[in-house]
Amino acid sequence: MTGLTGKERTECAKILTKMSKVDLLSLCDTVTNKMIVVESDKEAMDTILSFSMSAEELLKRRKVYRDQIFKYLAEEGIAMPPTSEKHILIKRTLELWSSKQEPKGQPGNYRAGPHSRTVSTDVKTDPGFDPLILGREFCQWFFGLLNSQNPTLGQESQDWGPQHFWPDAKLRLLARVCGEQLEEFAGAEVVSRRLLALTREERLLLNPNLEAHGLRALSSPHGLVMVAVAGTIHRDTSCLGIFEKIFGLIKSPLDNNWKIKLINLKIRGQDAISDKDVSAPALTYNSSDLQLLCN
């Protein structure tokens, strides 16, 4: 028996933790041919890792689902197209584990464009500060920056990356397209790569509605500014649906620039919306919702 390397055991364990106890016990029976009886999740995981001939063999098991591998890669900073088949995800995972260096830039490699800029900090958080002005300015900057990563536009990509996020930034992505799917990510690197995948890999364009019914913003006494915006999502000439996005922004005392603390992104596909929603997407979040998030 060849078995798993120490690194493979550690990384495979991360994927196994995403499995239900029922599936873990079933997988344990399969790997050991029902020769070992276990009672707990930990016993099942240890046994599976000990009796697996190779990492590839383990990942190919029927009980190790495609979505679990996809989510693992995302958490490791590797953004893959959501439509990737399981064998493609396995191949990328094994490449990641065999690499001696951190997987920078696959596929989220980004390069600075000549026109990149930071969000203007001319607006100060003083009694005259208007969070809506900041919100509109921020959205113009953010969506221009993110959309520039889409290769179908033929533009030079601007300076996208984790430097625009706080180290403990969080992303919550809820998609209602042929069902409902929730993804959650934490950490500047992982969050920036997942958002990058929307435009670079999935080739989406996010068009914000910066009119009054599509944009809201408010600030807390502690310096957190919440910005909510609605808009449409496109691929090439097709409108795929609408989105609502909430940003939590905090100004950095080091460089006086606003950085992203949190993002809640809600996507609805064409089958869940009306023509009126697409022509003028409006926010369903109100000021009370944003106030709750501020607190």
pLDDT over 90 at 61, yes or no: yes
Domain 131-294 in this protein, CATH class = alpha beta
pLDDT tens track for 249-265:
998 887 778 999 999 99
pLDDT tens track for 274-286:
555 555 577 776 6
| pLDDT bucket at 219, cuts 50 / 70 / 90 | confident
Residue 256 phi, psi (nearest 5): 65, 20
Torsion of CA 23, 37, 8, 64, to 10 degrees: -20
| Sign of the alpha-carbon dihedral angle for 39, 45, 46, 49 | positive
Torsion of CA 272, 277, 282, 285, to 10 degrees: -20
Integer-rounded Cα radius of gyration of the chain: 22
Every domain of the chain and the residues it spans:
6-98, 131-294
pLDDT over 50 at 155, yes or no: yes
